[in-house]
Chain A
Amino acid sequence: GAVVSQHPSWVICKSGTSVKIECRSLDFQATTMFWYRQFPKQSLMLMATSNEGSKATYEQGVEKDKFLINHASLTLSTLTVTSAHPEDSSFYICSASLRETGNTIYFGEGSWLTVV
């Protein structure tokens, strides 16, 4: 099946710094990539949707200047958390969609961000 790689798996950063998370579709060209945030024992919260070469579409309540999403190619999307604060600590998951397979979404392994 399709593989989505997410890196890093774990990251700790100091408050006020920025951190970048990469999401790659390894064996397919993703039609669309999604970024989610998940709090402990809760469901997925869609943050933004991005298509290659265009600006990401952010969900209501998600600060686009704080969570910068770049979708440079059909196989790579990045999420940069700028000026991170402890409340940004969370599990971030990316996913990539392949329309040819009935919009099946394939997920990365997720990235744990801890801001200290």
Chain B
Amino acid sequence: AQSVAQPEDQVNVAEGNPLTVKCTYSVSGNPYLFWYVQYPNRGLQFLLKYITGDNLVKGSYGFEAEFNKSQTSFHLKKPSALVSDSALYFCAVSPRGGSYIPTFGRGTSLIVHP
């Protein structure tokens, strides 16, 4: 069975500082990995994904994520946080074959302080 862990319920960072939102996963074989963002009372928006190739994936709004196979991690990063980045972030993993139903982490609330 596949699983996703987001170990932090909340991450606090000052505006202008770099941010990291952690994600580790467990899945058979090579996974597809995703990050989504959810603003209050809204659906989820796709940020970025890893399929294959370069381990550093760049996505929307200046976010990037690094795929680390040995550590089974896919941490979300941004060099300089904005107050408007404050939202709920979800990591997801999907197997490459079979039912490919994705599994989501429980979400991490990012709060960027002015």
Contacts and interface: CB of A to CB of B under 8 A. Distances in A.
A41 B44 CA distance: 14
Contacts of B94: 103, 105
A42 interface: yes
Given A6-B43, A46-B101, A93-B43, A105 B106 contact: no
Given A102-B32, A103-B32, A105-B34, A43 B104 contact: yes
Contacts of B49: 102, 104
Interface of A: 1, 4, 6, 34, 41-44, 46, 49, 91, 93, 95, 97, 99, 102-110, 112
B106 A43 contact: yes
Given A6-B43, A103-B94, 11 more contacts: A1-B46, A42-B106, A44-B104, A46-B101, A95-B44, A97-B100, A105-B94, A106-B46, A107-B46, A109-B43, A110-B42
Contacts, number: 53
A109 to B, nearest CB: 4
Interface residues of B, number: 23
A93 B44 contact: yes
24 contacts: A4-B43, A6-B43, A41-B109, A42-B106, A42-B107, A43-B105, A43-B106, A44-B104, A49-B99, A49-B101, A93-B44, A97-B100, A102-B49, A102-B51, A103-B94, A103-B102, A104-B34, A105-B46, A105-B94, A107-B44, A107-B45, A108-B43, A109-B42, A112-B41
A103 B41 CA distance: 25
Interface string B43-59: 11110010100000000
Taking each of B45, B46, B106, which has the highest tally of chain A beta carbons within 10 Å of its own beta carbon? Answer: B46
B51 A105 contact: no
B1 to A, nearest CB: 13
Contacts of B41: 91, 110, 112
B82 to A, nearest CB: 21
